[in-house]
Amino acid sequence: MKHTQLTVRNFTDLSGTVFAIMLVSVGAGAIDLLMIAPKGLDHVAAAGQGELIVTAAFAFFIGLTDTFSSRLAMAEGQGTSAQRLPVLAGAFLLALVPAQVLAVVVVLCVEPLLTLIHQDPALVPLVGDYTAIRIGAVCLALVHVAVAESLKICGLKRVAMAAPVVGLGINAMLNWLFLYTDLSRHFSSPESAVTASTVGVQLVLAAGSLVVFLRQMRLRAESFERPDKGEMWAEFSSMVRTAPGIGVRHLNDWAGAVVPTLFIGTLGVEALAATVVATKIYTVFCRVPQSCVSGAFIFYSYAVGQDSPDLAKTARRLLVYIAVPTGLAALLLAAAAYSLVDVFGSGEADARAALWVLLAFMLPLPFYVLSAGYGEMLTVHQRGGLMSVWSTVTTYAIAIPLAWYAVSVWESPALAIALAGLQTPILAYVFGRALRKDHWSPVIRPVPQSRTS
């Protein structure tokens, strides 16, 4: 299949599609914020805090779709998608059951935990409304993500790109209907209305994309086969063992990014504002390496499925494909940094402080490329345990304590971000070493000895 061949054009097309989808997702979040803003500052704050909690929860749950996607991409590289997809889909649907149970537990814990940490009593039920619907609908969200990934993996990039663009329009329409028409009476709060809109969009896109995906797959010469129950249960067992480790790694990444900012918030409004401005700019910039890493994840999976004789060579090539666009984007960011700080800070944030924080974010960039790329490759090899252990150790023993020390002793936001980034080269080394030792080393097979009598 042409789309599984690692060429500059194929990689650029796939990564470009992922990048565009990421930008559209940013637009969807902006629409939600704009729509709820007229309802008052309390609702804006509740939606923001609710989204933070939802992001943390989904960082963990997305480990399941990562596991599914890597296995489907390996099958696509091997040319056995028609045979493997029914088994993988069945196992994935079974794995959604424990995921949903865990999601219900999380939803039930949100409001008590917010009350325990003395959150504003007026915000607690609003945040509860936001998280109850979003996290409660985790199965639908994961199916939506899995279908979207399947489209990209199987070469249907145009459909994968068109779906979120259509969803953007549907999201805006549903937000308006649920917030500003008579339909608003059916919702307990603006937060529940906004999240119902998001879930509605996910339902429409998942259903529509699934229909298109199945129709396109049937156009292939091969037909789907009825999954073997034993094989499906074995796949399910493997998924539920592997996915949590990958999810923990994502959750640790979230904690390593968010907790230092919470520490910086204790330094006052000016320090926090400068950090938030730098964080927004860096987040937008990171869409470039993240989209390239997503492309590398799929192409590396193809290579594993194809039994590539030299995975190390493929990996090095993919790292170059990640590094070049990232380097160019970094140069553009350096040239426009001051102007971007002025735009994102509305001329009110401390530009000098924001620039120093932005520089602190950028310092470990080469190691970020390596750790992110290696991490996705380890995901393909189902090394969730290794990644969860090392990301937990480096996050809670290095990144967070050093960030706290920089804030409490030196009162420096930039130093806090820089010290938190020290975990990145460690992860890059550990992940790279695991790949070289366990997955890229040539396997030496014994040479049969001829018997002589």
Give the contacts of 273 (CB within 8 A, at least 6 positions apart). 345, 348, 349, 350
Q: Do 214 and 307 belong to one domain?
A: no
Q: Do 430 and 304 belong to one domain?
A: yes
Lowest mean pLDDT across 22-31, 65-74, 83-92, 155-164? 22-31
Q: Do 170 and 285 belong to one domain?
A: no
Q: Do 153 and 255 belong to one domain?
A: no
Task: Please indicate, yes or no, if residue 238 is contained in any of the structural domains.
Answer: no
Q: Do 288 and 350 belong to one domain?
A: yes
CA atoms within 13 A on the CB side of 283: 14
Q: Do 331 and 292 belong to one domain?
A: yes
Query: Which residue range forms the structural domain that includes residue 309?
Result: 243-438
The pLDDT tens digits for 198-210 are: 999 999 999 999 9
Q: Mean pLDDT, to the nearest integer, of 318-337?
A: 98
Q: Do 98 and 10 belong to one domain?
A: yes
Do 145 and 62 contact (CB within 8 A), yes or no?
yes
Question: For the whole model, what pTM was predicted?
Answer: 0.94
pLDDT number for residue 221: 63
Q: Do 6 and 74 belong to one domain?
A: yes
Task: Please indicate, yes or no, if residue 338 is contained in any of the structural domains.
Answer: yes
Q: Identify the domain boundary among 175, 194, 227.
A: 227
The pLDDT tens digits for 208-246 are: 999 999 998 888 766 677 888 999 999 999 999 999 999
- Tell me how far apart the alpha carbons of residues 380 and 80 are, in angstroms, rounded to a whole number: 17
**Which pLDDT band, with edges at 50, 70 and 90, does 15 fall under?**
very high
The pLDDT tens digits for 106-120 are: 999 999 999 998 889
Q: Do 176 and 323 belong to one domain?
A: no
Q: Identify the domain boundary among 172, 198, 227.
A: 227
Task: Please indicate, yes or no, if residue 286 is contained in any of the structural domains.
Answer: yes
Buried b (16+ CB within 10 A) or exposed e, 294-332: bbbbbbbbbbbbbebeebeebbebbbebbbebbeebbee
Neighbours of 22 (CB within 10 A): 18
Task: Please indicate, yes or no, if residue 358 is contained in any of the structural domains.
Answer: yes
- Tell me how far apart the alpha carbons of residues 205 and 171 are, in angstroms, rounded to a whole number: 11
Task: Please indicate, yes or no, if residue 343 is contained in any of the structural domains.
Answer: yes
Q: Do 103 and 29 belong to one domain?
A: yes
Number of domains in the chain: 2
DSSP helix/strand/coil, 245: helix
Q: Do 72 and 36 belong to one domain?
A: yes
pLDDT number for residue 222: 64
Q: Do 193 and 287 belong to one domain?
A: no
Which pair of tokens denotes residue 94? 């079974």
Q: Identify the domain boundary among 172, 201, 227.
A: 227
Q: Amino acid identity of 372? A: A
Task: Please indicate, yes or no, if residue 235 is contained in any of the structural domains.
Answer: no
Rg (CA), the chain: 23
Task: Please indicate, yes or no, if residue 236 is contained in any of the structural domains.
Answer: no
Q: Nearest Cα to 61, choosing from 89, 108, 99, 22?
A: 99
